Amino acid sequence: MSLPKNSAAGRLIFALDVPGRDEAVQWAKRLRGCVGCFKVGLELFVREGPQVIEAVREAGEADIFLDLKLHDIPATVQGALESAAKLKVKFITVHAGDGGASFDKVVLKNDFGLEVLGVTVLTSVPGERLPKMGYPADLTIEDLVLTRAALALDMGCSGVVCSGKEIRPLREKLGAGFSIVVPGIRPAWSVLEKDDQARIVTPAEAVQA
């Protein structure tokens, strides 16, 4: 059972960033009917394997977002997408930071029923780090996100992943015909000084944007 995509609860993705299967299943059961999708990330998937996907689906009765951030040569990405499709996940991520070299034409011919999301710039990256990564000093995070998002959509991605701080400019410049998935969302009372996420927003800020 999936909640309506445009309902308040249906728009929520809960990240199962937990150590193992038991914790993931417990959270899925607790939040059944409250969120539209559960995210299974790299750590949980590597630890528990594909079996955790079905366990979470049964417990939570919601869609699955497999967040592996695929980044490899096209043939390898193609094979990974085919494997993910067999797991019947709804979303999967690919990196959009290499000019499309890892998914050029692969996403365009995706007929597996997957919604492929292009990861623009990780929310752990602050703007001041860009020059250290070899980018021009006058390049902003927003500019880089917009460039990569446009590339991902041109390659056939159904949406992108970015911080809440970039939602509004993305919508203004690229339109409304694609999904935006936003990690790094923190209630104001939970923000920590040494959070590993650099570009965060509150739930209210994300919805308003």
The verdict on whether 165 is a catalytic residue reads: no
Question: Which of these is catalytic: 69, 88, 90, 109?
Answer: 69
> Residue 150 phi/psi, 5° resolution?
-60, -40
Q: What are the tokens at 199?
A: 């570009």
> How far is the C-alpha of 165 from the C-alpha of 185, rounded, in Å?
10
How far apart are the C-alpha atoms of 114 and 104, rounded to whole Å? 16
Asked if 110 and 156 touch (Cβ cutoff 8 Å), the reply is yes
First and final CA of the chain: distance in angstroms? Answer: 28
* Tokens linked to 61: 């009765």
Strand arrangement of the beta sheet that strand 37-41 belongs to: 13-15, 37-41, 63-70, 91-95, 115-119, 159-161, 179-181
DSSP state of 178: S
The catalytic residues are 69
